[in-house]
Amino acid sequence: MNGILYSLGFWALFTAYTRGGEVSSMFPITLSMSVLIPIMGIIFLKERDNLPRKIISILVMITGLWIISN
């Protein structure tokens, strides 16, 4: 599953580069796939230890992505 998601992400990154997108803003957004890892762990694997810390880290990553994209 992880390999498929990374492949799709890098395919989308390459497509965006070929259409003239800015590398400085697109590459960090592509690396934001790490936001999905704790979310999938919480939902599918029922990882409940350190849940407040995971939620805070997800919110910090989303905020950083929002700042980069604007």
Q: What is the pLDDT of residues 10-41, one digit of tens each?
A: 788 888 888 887 777 777 777 777 788 888 88
pLDDT for position 21: 74
| Amino acid found at 61 | M
CA distance 65 to 1: 23
Q: What is the pLDDT of residues 33-60, one digit of tens each?
A: 778 888 888 899 888 898 999 899 989 9
Assign 21 to helix, strand or coil.
coil
Nearest CA to 1 out of 42, 58, 44 is that of 44
